[in-house]
Amino acid sequence: MTDLMTKTAADEDICARVAEDETPMQTRMLDWARTNTGSWNAAGLERLAPSLADAFSCLEADIHLQPTQPFEKVNAAGQADTFQTGPIIRIGARPSAPVQVVMSGHYDTVFPEGTFTDITDLGEGRLNGPGLADMKGGLSVMLGALQAFEAGPLKDKLGYQIVITPDEEIGNFASGATLIEAAQSGAMIGMTYEPCMETGAMSGGRKGSAVFDIVLTGRSAHAGRAKEEGRSAIEAAAHIVVGLEGLNGTYDGVTFNVGTLDGGGAVNIVPDLAIVRFGARAPDAKAAEWATQQVQSLFEQATARDGIEGHLHGGFYRPPKPRNAAQQALFEAVAQTGEAIGLNLEFVDTGGVCEGNNIFAAGVPNVDTLGVMGGRIHSNEEFVVMSSFVERAQLSALLLNRFADGRIDARKIKALMS
């Protein structure tokens, strides 16, 4: 990797093409955001998917909507239901090109149907709205960068697989295998379009993430007449909750968080059902294994209580993505490319997770915050910085150009994974 801080004439042309596309990039983000695509809103996801596919049809690529298989979801009664989400959008171009990248993003948001629908101008170049930063803005930046690159002379030297998923915010349970398959189809570099941080910083290392549901059943009884005949599922669940929270701080970098404890009803009935829903984060594979063992131990202790039975669902759906030699080499190349357009990029380790974890686990080095600048994501204060579209699309377009012309040796970076 040499001379990445200097722009060639081809680089200048790409940056100019991106700048001309500023308004279309912003406009299509706003159009996409007007359709609610909460992760559990299958109808909304089905509505938006064809529009996304149509937008990407301007590329010299094959596009299809891939139906998803249903996945398991524990309902409020403690039973395992199935849920089928919207389609995965698959886009592929030039599979025989000498350089191959895998690009990923998601079109679901955390906002259920009927919540947080307005797009508001906050002034100072910021807009507030559902999914603007996370990540309909990122999808638009991805498309803008590809359009600018494909209009240049080097497009035949680089091929790509794009996976746009409908379920990232709930764990990619339907699309995870597709992400792995795309990454393992010859990709040398992964590019994911989560928003960068409000400061402009990008994500470095990421922890692994788990989601668990523990369902416990006991025996109901009249709490006044025959309390001794009952077996409280909530009491057993409470011991699990206390045990989980007590694990925080006992293994470096591992955290547990109980999201909800469901169950019970009238105060004169011993509750015979409880559901503990919680998450865990771990910095590496060994830590994830330890965390899983602790969960299993607490579950076994609970179900060893007289009259208590249960079942355990979930686990580490996203493996950790620590820094290694390949990641560091990629980060340095991205940072130097950023300098060519006046960006001072910093890479900060984070406890957050994304599809970049999956791609890294498939053996592909990945930079995963190539999207727009924004903040307050996952809240109704989410905002996007409108001026960031051009600079972030230029960054991606230049990276594609440098992978194609060899100034960034994608094959050499990939080799550092072994």
> Nearest to residue 188, comparing CAs of 58, 389, 6, 366?
366
Residues β-bridged to residue 222: 269
Per the CB < 8 A criterion, the answer to whether 202 and 300 are in contact is no
pLDDT, one tens digit per residue, over 353-366 is: 999 999 999 999 99
Residue 123: pLDDT above 90?
yes
Residue 338: pLDDT above 90?
yes
How far is CA 7 from each of CA 10, 14, 15, 399, rounded to the nearest angstrom? 8, 10, 10, 11
Structure confidence at residue 1 as a pLDDT band (50, 70, 90): very low
Amino acid at 299: F
In the block, residue with structure tokens 């959008």: 89
Question: Is the peptide bond preceding residue 135 cis, with omega within 30 degrees of 0?
Answer: yes
Average pLDDT, rounded, for the chain: 96
Residue 57: pLDDT above 70?
yes
pLDDT, one tens digit per residue, over 214-248 is: 999 999 999 999 999 999 999 999 999 999 999 99
Domains in the chain, please, with CATH?
9-77+84-206+321-415 (3.40.630.10), 208-318 (3.30.70.360)
Across the range 48-53, mean pLDDT stands at 98
- Please state the pTM of the whole predicted model: 0.93
Across the range 162-170, mean pLDDT stands at 97
Report residue 282 as tokens.
């771990």
Residue 402 phi, psi (nearest 5)? -80, -30
Per the CB < 8 A criterion, the answer to whether 139 and 49 are in contact is no
Residue 62: pLDDT above 90?
yes
3-state secondary structure of 260: strand
**pLDDT on residue 6:** 87
Per the CB < 8 A criterion, the answer to whether 172 and 165 are in contact is yes
Report residue 295 as tokens.
């969960």
Burial class (CB in 10 A: 0-12, 13-18, 19+), 184: middle
H or E, element range at 291: helix 285-303
Structure confidence at residue 3 as a pLDDT band (50, 70, 90): confident
Task: Count Cβ neighbours within 10 Å for each residue of 228-244 and write b for 16 or more, e otherwise.
Answer: eebbbbbbbbeebbebb
Percent of the chain with pLDDT over 70: 100
Residue 343: pLDDT above 90?
yes
**pLDDT on residue 352:** 87
DSSP states of 128-192: E-TTIIIIIHHHHHHHHHHHHHHTSTTGGGEEEEEEEES-GGGT-TTTHHHHHHHHTTT-SEEEE
**pLDDT on residue 2:** 64
Amino acid at 126: R
pLDDT, one tens digit per residue, over 387-405 is: 999 999 999 999 999 999 9
Across the range 150-170, mean pLDDT stands at 97
> Nearest to residue 210, comparing CAs of 167, 165, 257, 252?
257
pLDDT, one tens digit per residue, over 288-308 is: 999 999 999 999 999 999 999
Chain-centre distance for alpha carbon 408 = 26
Residue 77 phi, psi (nearest 5)? -90, 5
Residues β-bridged to residue 367: 191
Burial class (CB in 10 A: 0-12, 13-18, 19+), 37: buried
Across the range 49-77, mean pLDDT stands at 95
